[in-house]
Amino acid sequence: MPQPLTAMPSRGLTGRIKVPGDKSISHRALILGALATGTTTITGLLQAEDVLATARAVAALGAEITRANGAMVVKGQGVGGLRPPAGALDFGNSGTGSRLMLGVVAGHDMVADFVGDASLSRRPMGRVLVPLECMGLAVEGERRTLPLRVRGTPDLVPIVYDLPVASAQVKSALLLAGLHAPGRTTVVEPVPTRDHTERMLAHFGAELSVEDRADGRRAVSVAGDAELEGTAIRVPADPSSAAFIVAAALICKGSDVVIEGVLMNPTRTGFLATLREMGARIEVLDLGEDCGEAVGDLRVRTSVLKGVTVPPERAPSMIDEYPVLAAVAAFAQGQTRMQGLAELKVKESDRLAATAAGLASCGVEASIEGDDLIVTGTGEVPGGGTVETHMDHRIAMAFLTLGLGAARPVTVDDVTMIATSFPNFVPLMTQLGAAFQ
């Protein structure tokens, strides 16, 4: 049953908090831990439905997973050492988990059924299946959405693949498959995307090379017949989850919030860069490094914001943050144009359409021109609307955040799916002084 929730106008959010672990890194830590030999100990793993679906999948493929002293411990089976699953691999709502695991299964002599919920079953898988089929993965039937039955092979062929559209998920799936192939598998991306897979592969001992080309393209290569060694992973706080806290502090008058231990990987900081261009008062405190990733604390205070143009090349570094950026833009003075958002149309929902419709229901002028979203802010948001979430966790959280700064309450029609990425979103916001009912 849907569970609606209303965000009440709130002021003076204050305190120090830590949001859950990064979802992208959590998925990859589990998967590479399963492909390594020995034991991988993961602290700070995101305990959310998407990540737990990946944990169940790697366990179904033969990796042993236990909990000890607050950490997740994975006993890996080595590259090529996983076993056929007894039943279907159910990824729930997780696009990341399902696409990355297609790359893993591709290198094993097994048949596997991939299934998911209604939302995931509508999302396209063709862009990852096409290159994996070139490497040797066999797909039963003509379907390019879940449910899928695939057959892997221990005799994958290494390829050089030019990504037609920048996608960290497709890149990662191919690099994971490349671990099983002889020679080198190379992925060429039109613009750099989040590079957690590359960093974590190196942390596990894979032979990896990255070439930044003069034309702006980036070539990432991994050596096959790989041997990965189990290791320790500490997962930093998820910047995509922190984005909602950052936004709330900016738009709720009298706020001063510190978010601890946030991942500051440069391929994930486009949202912060955009907010600073808008005039946001955001400081990075105690910047350091952990397991090859930059980590820091963020101090955020209420700010007077102005509209900006967000260029299309920034989209890969903030693709999940556009709905909440649109919410912030509603409070800015002037027009904010977010360019090149075609990717938003194939997320858990058509986020481009859902965001524009949600803004309109709250009295904000918003329009779509091609793949661009244009939001015209006046510094104040009337609110008072009910927003359709379309089973999308980020739409739900973006408009609950908007409601905290609006003049009147904002209701979202369902919050059950928030558990896929940020299960303690409401308690953490409440801890800072936000009001919901």
Q: Which active-site residues does the annotation give?
A: 320
Q: Find residue 378's DSSP bridge partners.
A: 333
* CA–CA separation, 307 and 374 (whole Å): 10
The tokens describing 103, both together, are: 């790359």
Rounded to 5, what percent of the chain is helix, strand, coil?
Answer: 35, 30, 35
Residue type, position 45, single letter = L
Collapsed DSSP state (helix, strand, coil) of residue 278: coil
Residue 394 identity (one-letter amino acid)? R
Concatenate the DSSP letters of all residues of 187-225 into one string.
EEESS----HHHHHHHHHT--EEEEE-TTS-EEEEEESS
Residue 147: cis peptide before it, omega within 30 degrees of 0: yes
Query: Please, what is the Cα angle at 422 between 14 and 437, to 5 degrees?
Result: 60
Task: Report the alpha-carbon distance of residue 185 to residue 394 in Å, rounded.
Answer: 34
Cα separation, 111 vs 133, whole angstroms: 14
Say if residues 179 and 106 touch (Cβ distance below 8 Å). Answer: no
Cβ contact 375:335 at 8 Å: yes
Alpha-carbon span 293 to 281, nearest angstrom: 24
Phi-psi region of 92 (alpha: psi -120 to 50; beta: other; left: phi over 0): left
Q: Is the Cβ–Cβ distance between 403 and 410 less than 8 Å? A: yes
Distance CA 373, CA 150 (A): 37
Question: What is the length of the chain?
Answer: 437
Beta strands in 224-345 (DSSP E): 232-234, 256-263, 281-290, 293-301, 309-310, 333-338
In angstroms, the CA 124 to CA 437 distance is 36
